[in-house]
């Protein structure tokens, strides 16, 4: 009996994990998984050397710094921060001097008055 149950569980696991995507593949894109304090919208106005990145701060805490972080690798722990001069909860940043035909990964960020840093989910774009 135990062997039959284990075989059925294994078969069910194989059937669900043999799809084109694994159930955690989109985890970094699903805002429902996280309690976000920052949201980044899709990059826009993308050219061969520039892109505009819209960011929304969602926290009610006092924010002392905000901006975007940029990398050329997905889910990188080393991203270059670009602080914004804006004091608004919604702002856009224009990235300049980008390389043509390059895929970039961006995250919005904010730092509150207690020194805690919060990031958005990651978005990517490719310059023309």
Q: What is the pLDDT of residues 33-81, one digit of tens each?
A: 556 899 999 999 999 999 999 999 999 999 999 999 999 999 888 999 9
User: How many domains, in total, are found in the chain?
Assistant: 1
Average pLDDT in the chain: 82
**pLDDT-derived band at 27, boundaries 50, 70, 90:** very low
- Is residue 103 situated within a structural domain? yes
Domain that holds residue 65: 25-126
pTM (global) more than 0.75:
no
Highest mean pLDDT among 25-39, 75-89, 93-107: 93-107
* CATH of residue 80: 2.60.40.10
- Is residue 4 situated within a structural domain? no
- Is residue 5 situated within a structural domain? no
- What is the DSSP track for 1-67? -HHHHHHHHHHHHHHHHTSSS-TTTTGGG-GGGS--SEEEPPPBS--SS-EEEEEEE---SPEEEEE
- Is residue 20 situated within a structural domain? no
pLDDT greater at residue 11 or residue 121: 121
- Is residue 8 situated within a structural domain? no
- Is residue 10 situated within a structural domain? no
Q: What sign has the CA pseudo-torsion 104, 30, 119, 53?
A: positive
């Amino acid at each position: 009996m135990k062997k039959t149950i284990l075989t059925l569980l294994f078969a069910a696991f194989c059937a669900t994990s043999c799809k084109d995507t694994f159930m955690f593949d989109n985890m970094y894109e699903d805002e429902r998984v996280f309690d976000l304090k920052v949201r980044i919208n899709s990059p826009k106005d993308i050219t061969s050397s520039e892109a505009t990145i819209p960011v929304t701060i969602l926290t009610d805490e006092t924010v002392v710094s905000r901006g975007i972080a940029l990398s050329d690798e997905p889910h990188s722990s080393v991203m270059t921060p670009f602080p914004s001069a804006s004091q608004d909860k919604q702002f856009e940043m224009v990235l300049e001097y980008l390389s043509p035909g390059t895929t970039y990964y961006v995250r919005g960020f904010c730092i509150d008055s207690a020194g805690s840093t919060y990031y958005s989910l990651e978005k990517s774009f490719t310059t023309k």
